[in-house]
Copies of this chain bind each other. A is one copy, B any other.
Amino acid sequence: MVSKNQIKLITSLQLKKYRNEHQLFIAEGVKVIQELLLSNFVLDHLFVTDAIFDQVGDTQKTVVKEADMKRISVLSSPSSCLAVFQIPKENKIEAKGLIVALDDIRDPGNLGTIIRLCDWFGVKQLVCSTETVDVYNPKVIQATMGSITRVNVNYVDLGQFIAETQLPVFGTFMDGKNVYNENLPKEAILILGNEANGISESLEKSIKNRIAIPRFGDIQQTESLNVATATAIFLSEFRRS
């Protein structure tokens, strides 16, 4: 049984304003919740339609009807479980190794996919501009498939961060140098820009290394690669060495 107040609280967490107010976020689906339970994230409450997640005690778990799950779920086809977790304190930035920086990524699916890519390619630190979509947006959490537990995400003034770093800075631009011909270092910052506008002009000035994925089509009409698929290729290039 879910009370009216619980429904109101949980659905309010779809908005950043209320996530910040309550310091809580939603995760849905067995795989994502399983990974969060195995990590340092702290569970607030778990709602399930079946007898799953035995490791969670009854004080923190409520069995609900499918109709109630539909009421609290963000998904058009709800899964068998929805969990509310505490938003952890932001860790300090680990300014070493390969770091990915995002300049105003707006699409939750793109951010989630990029976090999953960071995890695959051993990138432990993701730095986001303050205008980038919130990592605790339910659609981001969903798209990370649990990788959120292994990637440190910080929101910063990206201009200041770039100005202060000792690491070499690489920015991705349509007119950049062919990434396949570049010598890419093990430690660096790789910046990806907004879906529609790319990297902002104010940031562009402080980026020394401009790189691009060359087009191979005969007819040069393809507008651009999606930012998540571009991130996949750039990370692959940094790691393959």
Contact = CB atoms under 8 A, between A and B. Distances in A.
A130 to B, nearest CB: 24
A133 interface: no
A41 to B, nearest CB: 14
Interface string A214-241: 0111110111011011111100110110
B113 A222 contact: no
Contacts of A218: 122
A121 interface: yes
B31 A223 contact: yes
Interface string A189-224: 000000000000000000000000101111101110
A109 B122 CA distance: 26
A116 B147 contact: no
A150 interface: yes
Interface residues of A, number: 36
Contacts of A146: 221, 223
Contacts of A103: none
A121 B229 contact: no
Nearest to A180: B240
Given A150-B221, A228-B229, A232-B232, A216 B122 contact: yes
Contacts of A221: 35, 146, 150
Contacts of A180: 240
Q: Which of A219, A230, A232 has most chain B Cβ within 10 Å?
A: A232
Interface string A108-126: 0100010011011110000
Nearest to A149: B221
Contacts of A150: 217, 219, 221-222
Interface of A: 31, 35, 109, 113, 116-117, 119-122, 145-147, 150, 180, 213, 215-219, 221-223, 225-226, 228-233, 236-237, 239-240
28 contacts: A31-B223, A35-B221, A109-B109, A116-B222, A116-B226, A116-B229, A117-B225, A117-B229, A119-B217, A120-B213, A120-B217, A122-B215, A122-B217, A122-B218, A146-B221, A146-B223, A150-B217, A150-B219, A150-B221, A150-B222, A180-B240, A213-B236, A216-B239, A225-B232, A229-B229, A232-B232, A232-B233, A233-B233
